[in-house]
Amino acid sequence: MKDHLLEWLKEGNLTIPGVLLSQYKDMGMDEKELTLLLHVIHFIDKGNHFPTPIEISSRMTISVTECTEILRRLIQKGLMKITEGYSSDGIRFEAYSLDPLWERLVENFYLKKKQQEQVTTEQQETDLYTCFEQEFGRPLSPFECESLAMWMDDDHHDPIIIKAALREAVISGKLNFRYIDRILFEWKKNGIKTIEQAKSYGRKFRQSQTSQRGKQSEPSTTMSKSVPFYNWLEQ
């Protein structure tokens, strides 16, 4: 029993990148091709860099002929290749290389991420336009749409920051694009890039404004309850 357990442990573990399981279909592979690739990976991990179709098919429920055909397809699809070399004693050898597989996986992974980011960006932009129209209570004019596009494309403001500037304008009672543009200009000049930084910047300014007003005159009950707002256009 102990000897069998030791043999089992010596078989080791096969580490499979999760991205291979999630993207093999997008890369044009079926389950048989994936399983055969996993066996090739295991053979290579064990030191056999060029397992024969007989060795591979013996571990699968496919014939040697079908195994040979699948190997040929994988090579044609550019997912693996046969390399040649010479050992230290001059003996020529062949080996399977899975570098094309890993390269394709990396390319496919980044492509998927880029596509997802593009979808997210488009959704954020759509939400941004909707948010502005809701606050303004009307469809945006072509000039206003162009201003929004320039804030994102030319000034590289994050849609979340633009929404924060819109909220600042609403709170200040100055709902117009010139006022919002000034807020964004001041935030960019002060290196504000996140919603947390914007909130902190506004909080510090209001505390400063409250302190200055307290020094100038004794605040009345009404003034003590009011919230000072930053008039960005005066800066």
Domains along the chain? 2-104 (1.10.10.10), 140-234 (1.10.10.630)
pLDDT in tens, 131-154: 999 999 999 999 999 999 999 988
| Percent of the chain clearing pLDDT 70 (strictly above) | 81
Averaged pLDDT, 118-126? 83
Phi, psi at 84, each rounded to 5°: -120, 150
Q: How far is CA 157 from CA 125, 164, 168, 187, 222, in A?
A: 11, 11, 15, 10, 37
Whether the per-residue pLDDT at 226 is higher than 50: the answer is: no
CA pair distance 159, 165, nearest whole angstrom: 10
Q: Is the pTM of this model over 0.75?
A: no
pLDDT in tens, 88-112: 777 888 999 999 999 998 888 888 8
pLDDT-based confidence at 24, cuts 50/70/90?
A: very high
Phi, psi at 96, each rounded to 5°: -85, 135
